[in-house]
């Protein structure tokens, strides 16, 4: 009966999504099976948030006016918006905006998200992990045994200038405190006390922890809400410092022989920084030549089309970057005269693991010829000045070449702009730096004047989860500038200027994470 009901819903849904293949996805929870409605579209499996929440015993709330859907657990909530990539995630009093690779889709009044996003997001708020097995086409939820952090392993290691004691756990405690006491009496060992809260421990197993070169004995005490570990130290230490590694749920206590704190710190933390640094390595650059195919962009003096200028500069820029930064991968959202929807450009960038997104365009005044000239570089933020709003409206108009664009971009309203800007806030500083470098470097090598950095709400910048700028390389409505932008010489000079800016930006950007 239930299955039949689902199939009715799914077949109705197919009307909304022409390429969708309906699916019923089993959801295994602790030996029982529930069924989740969904569909497959362009190699992605979408699952119904409503069915998923029901199957997991989570609560949902749907705002009737907008179909915004909240999913609640005891510890947090997720807020999804139709046709929108951004999810508001609240866990333990902290609120973040998370960007899904693909937007939530509304079909027959219900919201659907990809199985990947569903697993990632539900696991953040549920008491366990949700996984999707693509081969078997089924979801599984494995409940955490306990949400109280448990000590799983103790260890220690001698260091050049001291020692490190490691306490591994299955989750990090909210609070921890360490102290060293010196007895002052001959023969009495110094003690290291570590309190973890909340935490649970198998006390008898910890008490029989074998001695190491650092400590001779461990005494564990389970309090109602905390665990205290007492280590009998073999040597005297001048000071200690506690570090927490959230990727491995490890509490580390560095013990320093002398007050030389720096040395052990750098040894232990260097590895972690190295990993962190790799995340920040500017190893993939995405070039996005604006418009293309059926969308010519603005048409300037002597019929010069924006799409052709943007592509020519993009191809020159790729060649320059390949030469200047041979270890960096350069990805293009288009390398020929084809139409690419605005939201797909961001997806291409994200899927390629892009660390920098440069969208290339040309400006024009509504009436030509017009003397206005110069290069302007934008980063994402709802437009403030009339001019920024005009240019954003002009570039955003490219969506009219996309099928059902009204539905697709409807949710990019003022509310969502705020969410978007929040999600991008981590990149704003870098986007602004790059924008300024582009202005300086292009005007230094090309015959275009520097009109400065500006902010505006460009759809194409919304989708890219990385520092992102949009360059209006010049005005096609200005006869002299149109001729320059249409010439190989002009295109090469502008590309060279942008490439120089990227090289300088990369050096600055990576420096932020090589210090310490």
Report the site for Zn ion in 72-131 (rule: CB under 5 A): none
Kindly give the interhelix angle for 306-324 and 488-511, rounded to the nearest 10 degrees: 50
Q: What character string, x for contact with Zn ion (CB under 5 A) and - otherwise, covers 262-301? A: ----------------------------x------x----
Nearer to Zn ion, 99 or 377 (CB): 377
Shortest distance, position 465 Cβ to Zn ion, whole Å: 22
Length of the chain: 516
Q: List phi, psi (to 5°) of 17.
A: -120, 100
Residue pair 9/37 in contact by the 8 Å Cβ criterion? yes
Nearer to Zn ion, 320 or 395 (CB): 395
Nearer to Zn ion, 288 or 395 (CB): 395
Shortest distance, position 289 Cβ to Zn ion, whole Å: 10
Nearer to Zn ion, 161 or 363 (CB): 363
Count of residues engaged in binding Zn ion, rule: CB under 5 A: 4
Report the site for Zn ion in 403-432 (rule: CB under 5 A): none
What percentage of the chain's residues is helix, strand, coil (to nearest 5)? 35, 35, 30
Nearer to Zn ion, 343 or 395 (CB): 395
Nearer to Zn ion, 167 or 442 (CB): 442
Alpha helix ranges (H) inside 20-92: 49-56
Residue 395 as a binder of Zn ion (CB under 5 A): the answer is yes
| Contacting range for Zn ion; rule: CB under 5 A; set: 184-192, 261-269, 371-379, 392-400 | 392-400
Distance, CA of 77 to CA of 401 (rounded, Å): 37
Report the site for Zn ion in 340-369 (rule: CB under 5 A): 361
| Contacting range for Zn ion; rule: CB under 5 A; set: 395-403, 410-418, 443-451, 499-507 | 395-403
Shortest distance, position 460 Cβ to Zn ion, whole Å: 9
Distance, CA of 249 to CA of 243 (rounded, Å): 11
Shortest distance, position 345 Cβ to Zn ion, whole Å: 12
For residues 436-475, one letter each, b for 16 or more C-beta atoms within 10 angstroms of the residue's C-beta and e for the rest, the string is: bbbbbbbbebbebebbebbbbbbbbbbbbbbbbbbbbbbb
Kindly give the interhelix angle for 414-445 and 488-511, rounded to the nearest 10 degrees: 110
Nearer to Zn ion, 55 or 290 (CB): 290
Q: Closest residue to Zn ion, Cβ-based?
A: 361
Shortest distance, position 331 Cβ to Zn ion, whole Å: 20
Distance, CA of 451 to CA of 470 (rounded, Å): 14
- E strand or H helix at 116, and its extent? helix 115-125
Shortest distance, position 273 Cβ to Zn ion, whole Å: 40
Shortest distance, position 492 Cβ to Zn ion, whole Å: 20
Residue 457 as a binder of Zn ion (CB under 5 A): the answer is no
Nearer to Zn ion, 122 or 362 (CB): 362
Distance of CA 314 to the CA centre of its chain: 25
**Please, is 346 exposed, middle or buried when counting C-beta atoms within 10 Å of its C-beta (0-12, 13-18, 19+)?**
buried
Shortest distance, position 280 Cβ to Zn ion, whole Å: 30
> Which residues contact Zn ion by CB under 5 A?
290, 297, 361, 395
């Amino acid at each position: 009966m239930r299955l039949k009901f689902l199939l009715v819903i799914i077949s109705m849904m197919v009307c909304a999504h022409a390429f969708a293949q309906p699916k019923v996805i089993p959801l295994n929870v602790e030996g029982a099976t529930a069924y989740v409605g969904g569909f497959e579209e362009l190699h992605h499996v979408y699952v119904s948030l409503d069915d998923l929440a029901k199957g997991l015993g989570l609560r949902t709330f749907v705002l009737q006016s907008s179909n915004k859907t909240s999913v609640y657990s005891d510890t947090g909530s997720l807020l999804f918006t139709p046709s929108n990539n951004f999810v508001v995630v609240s866990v333990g009093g902290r609120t973040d905006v998370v960007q899904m690779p693909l937007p939530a889709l509304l079909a027959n009044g219900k919201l659907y998200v990809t199985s990947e996003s569903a697993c990632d997001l539900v696991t953040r708020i549920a008491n366990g992990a949700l996984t999707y097995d693509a081969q078997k086409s089924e979801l599984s939820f494995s409940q955490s045994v306990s949400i109280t952090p448990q000590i799983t392993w103790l260890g220690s290691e001698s260091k050049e200038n001291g020692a490190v004691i490691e306490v591994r756990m299955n989750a990090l405690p909210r609070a921890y405190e360490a102290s060293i006491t010196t007895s002052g009496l001959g023969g009495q060992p110094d003690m290291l006390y570590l309190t973890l809260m909340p935490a649970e421990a198998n006390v008898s197993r910890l008490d029989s922890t074998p001695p190491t070169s650092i400590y001779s004995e461990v005494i564990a005490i389970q309090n109602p809400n905390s665990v205290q570990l007492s280590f009998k130290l073999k040597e005297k230490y001048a000071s200690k410092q506690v570090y927490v590694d959230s990727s491995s749920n490890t509490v580390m206590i560095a013990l320093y022989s002398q007050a030389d704190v720096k040395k052990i710190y750098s040894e232990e933390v260097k590895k972690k920084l190295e990993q962190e640094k790799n995340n920040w390595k500017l190893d993939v650059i995405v070039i996005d030549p604006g418009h293309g195919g059926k969308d010519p962009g603005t048409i300037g003096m002597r019929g010069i089309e924006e799409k052709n200028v943007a592509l020519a500069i993009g191809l020159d820029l790729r060649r320059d970057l390949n030469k200047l930064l041979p270890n960096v991968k350069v990805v293009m959202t288009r390398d020929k005269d084809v139409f690419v929807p605005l939201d797909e450009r961001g997806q291409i960038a994200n899927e390629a693991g892009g660390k920098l997104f440069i969208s290339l365009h040309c400006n024009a005044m509504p009436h030509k010829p017009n003397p206005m000239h110069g290069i302007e570089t934008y980063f994402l933020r709802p437009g403030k000045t009339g001019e920024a709003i005009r240019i954003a409206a002009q570039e955003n108009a490219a969506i009219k070449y996309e099928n059902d664009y009204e539905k697709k971009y409807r949710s990019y309203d003022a509310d969502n702009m705020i969410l978007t800007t929040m999600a991008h806030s981590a990149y704003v500083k870098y986007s602004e730096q790059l924008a300024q470098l582009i202005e300086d470097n292009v005007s230094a090598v090309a015959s275009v004047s520097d009109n400065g950095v500006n902010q505006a709400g460009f759809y194409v910048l919304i989708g890219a989860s990385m520092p992102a700028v949009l360059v209006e390389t010049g005005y096609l409505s200005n006869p002299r500038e149109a001729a320059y932008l249409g010439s190989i010489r002009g295109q090469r000079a502008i590309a060279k200027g942008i490439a120089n800016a990227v090289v300088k930006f990369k050096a600055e950007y990576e420096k932020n994470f090589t210090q310490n």
